Amino acid sequence: MSVKIRCRKTGANNDPCFRIVATDSRSPRDGKCLETLGWYDPKKAKANFHLKLERIAAWKSKGALLSATVSSLVKKAKTVPMAAPVPSTPVLKKAAAPVNAATA
């Protein structure tokens, strides 16, 4: 299996946003990925990307190839400060409805 590190489009029409993913080179652009390695928002002005450089280096050591866009982002990450990573928001569970004493 040949692994490629490339962009996966997640934005809407006229509002592109990309996730940087490690994926099988035979899978489609927006298909299943092995690991999400960062994000890139070309419409933002300053800090418009975040990469997990240590994970990208690990994939490269295993033989993964970088796309041209990801390669330029990795080079840029070494000179320009990246944006903060997007924190994962926990999914809140709905509280059980209180039992009404009149109906019980």
CATH label of the domain that carries residue 23: 3.30.1320.10
Q: Does the pLDDT at position 104 exceed 60?
A: no
Mean pLDDT of 36-65: 91
Q: Does the pLDDT at position 89 exceed 60?
A: no
Question: Per the domain annotation, does 22 fall within a domain?
Answer: yes
User: Domain limits at 66?
Assistant: 3-77
Question: Per the domain annotation, does 88 fall within a domain?
Answer: no
pLDDT value of position 68:
95
Question: Per the domain annotation, does 92 fall within a domain?
Answer: no
CA distance 65 to 97: 52
Beta strand segments in the chain, E = 3-9, 18-24, 35-40, 49-51, 65-66
- For 80, 96, 98, 99, the CA distances from 103, given in Å and listed in that order, are 63, 16, 11, 8
Q: Which residues pair with 8 in a beta bridge?
A: 19
Question: Per the domain annotation, does 104 fall within a domain?
Answer: no
Q: What is the pLDDT of residues 9-19, one digit of tens each?
A: 888 898 889 99
Q: Contact at 8 Å (CB) between 45 and 54?
A: no
Question: Per the domain annotation, does 45 fall within a domain?
Answer: yes
Give the contacts of 26 (CB within 8 A, at least 6 positions apart): 2
Question: Per the domain annotation, does 82 fall within a domain?
Answer: no
Question: Per the domain annotation, does 83 fall within a domain?
Answer: no
User: Domains in the chain: how many in total?
Assistant: 1
Question: Per the domain annotation, does 36 fall within a domain?
Answer: yes
Confidence of residue 90 (pLDDT cuts 50, 70, 90): low
pTM listed for this prediction: 0.75
